[in-house]
Structure 1
Amino acid sequence: MIEFIKPHWPAPNHVKAFATTRKGGVSEFPFDSLNLGLHVGDDDKKVMVNRELLQKASNHPPVQWLNQIHSNKVIKYSGSKSLIEADGMVSDQTDSACAIMTADCLPVLFTNTSGNWVAAAHAGWRGLAEGILINTVNQYNRAESLMAWIGPAISQDCFEVGDDVRQVFVDLDDSNHDYFVENNRGRWQADLASLAKKQLENLGVEVFLSQLCTVKNEQQFFSFRRDGQTGRMASMIWIAE
């Protein structure tokens, strides 16, 4: 059975949003079982069956999938069947699903208090540092009326980085050093979700966290950092009729 993780946030009822887990599909190891990514080496036919199963279970409207490249590029939903290189998508149309795929990076879903604007963004450390979330918020002119949900992603305990990554964020804001803890190997445990939360709150966005770790929960989530070759979960949001 397909499992949905839904945001705990005060979004209007007609805004529908969820993140998938790895459960409920037909893909085989190491993509077992609800792999939704066509780019990871899985059997394309099984991925398409998984997408059909997801559509039936969630009754989601048409999805425009992205070719995610760890960029800061945001596009507007157009319904295009071709893969556009971007890591964020926004929509003010009804029945058009913004979607991103992840397997450790931050899936971030957005809506406004009126429920007439939605967005989805994929934020790894590079995209976060280069402003993917800022660029997504800037597609809407009143950040203070926005809310964001950060879905299942790698936790600080599991995300080890080097001096170079830490320095990128400290150069952006000196107070970001608070989100890096040195480990016994002389490297750093980075709190990616908290870095994103702070960045969004500085813009006036209200932020909600799932606090679910993709690496620790092996039975529930795909994790690239843990497994290498693996599947992808999807996070989606749309405005229902």
Structure 2
Amino acid sequence: MSPLRILKPDWPAPANVHAFTTTRKGGFSQAPYDQFNLGAFAGEELQVVQQNRALLNALLPQAPFWIKQVHGTDVVMAQGVHEGIGDSIIEADASVTTHPQTVLSILAADCMPVLLTNRFGTAVAAAHAGWRGLCAGVLENTVAKLLKESSCTPSDLLAWIGPSISVAHYEVGAEVRAAFIASAAQFDYQLDAACFIPNHASGPDKYLADLPRIAKSRLQALGIKAVYGGDLCTYRDPECFYSYRRETPTGRFASLIWFNPKS
């Protein structure tokens, strides 16, 4: 088994806020899930996933609060540990906590993990933003919940967009572009021409969609000016990341965030 490799966000979060994204290096999973699949619903034997999660837990103050992501917009308040399998499943696509050492987690394999914190280190959030959830308002719901629970203003927040599929590899149809045009009018954010680039080689109704660019625009429209990340592509880096568009079935990597009590 190779050593685990994690990636830490490059952002000016408070010193007591901790976050990282796992890669597929290390762990017990065999092909096509090799090596560090953390997704309990990706098709791999659950016992192997649990072995991988035990390795992950050794890097954390406590086991994560896992949710089952369903490409929706629901946000849950999290506290403590939640296994997220069997009879204890919570279906949601984002979580918020104001409790120290509660570890929020998002699983992905092309969709965007978006981590947020306030500048005071008293609250964190994690959102799963595939195109459906992003279009429907998962980021807006997450930010609203985080602001409410932490009594902050948007200028107090920082966001980091984790590894996801890049514009060069994410082709969508005209119906997806139309859905985002309607969403932009609903949520009042800027959808410029670079968000959907015509892909004439594939046909008149095909576009290359830039999900990180759309997410950044939406976060900025909410008043969050400190937005980082969005430059790591899951599709073009098979050594580090799982990608559902590149290979199916495939595993899931995790993006995690928590904060420690201030001394």
Regarding TM over 0.5, the answer is: yes
Corresponding position: 1:70 with 2:89: no
Match of 1:138 among 144, 148, 163: 144
Deviation per CA, 1:48-81: give whole Å up to 9, x if none: 111111122x234231111100000000003344
- Paired position in structure 2 for 1:13: 15
Deviation per CA, 1:143-196: give whole Å up to 9, x if none: 221110000000000100000000111122275252100112121000000000
CA distance in structure 2 between the aligned counterparts of 1:210 and 1:127, rounded to whole angstroms: 17
Runs of 4+, deviation exceeding 4 Å: none
CA apart distance, 1:94: 0.5
- Paired position in structure 2 for 1:193: 212
Q: Which moved more, 1:158-167 or 1:204-213?
A: 204-213
- Paired position in structure 2 for 1:45: 47
Residues 153-172 of structure 1 mapped to structure 2, 5 A cutoff: 153-172=164-183
Q: Describe the SS at the equivalent of 1:164.
A: helix
Aligned length: 240
| Identity, % of aligned positions | 43
- Paired position in structure 2 for 1:176: 191
Q: Describe the SS at the equivalent of 1:169.
A: helix
Letter in 2 for 1:73: D
Letter in 1 for 2:191: N
Q: Describe the SS at the equivalent of 2:38.
A: coil
Letter in 2 for 1:214: T
Higher normalized strand content (fraction of residues): 1
- Paired position in structure 2 for 1:25: 27
Q: Describe the SS at the equivalent of 1:111.
A: strand
Instruction: For structure 2, list consecutive stretches of 5 or more residues without a partner in the other structure.
Output: none
Q: Describe the SS at the equivalent of 2:246.
A: helix
- The TM-score with structure 2 as length reference comes to 0.88
CA distance in structure 2 between the aligned counterparts of 1:212 and 1:7, rounded to whole angstroms: 11
Distance 1:167-1:210 versus aligned 2 partners, 3 A rule: closer
- Paired position in structure 2 for 1:218: 238
- Paired position in structure 1 for 2:254: 234
Instruction: For structure 1, list consecutive stretches of 5 or more residues without a partner in the other structure.
Output: none
- Paired position in structure 2 for 1:100: 106
Corresponding position: 1:125 with 2:127: no
CA apart distance, 1:210: 4.2
Q: Are the aligned partners of 2:57 and 2:64 in contact in 1 as well (CA < 8 Å)? A: no
- The TM-score with structure 1 as length reference comes to 0.96
Corresponding position: 1:207 with 2:218: no
- Paired position in structure 1 for 2:89: 83
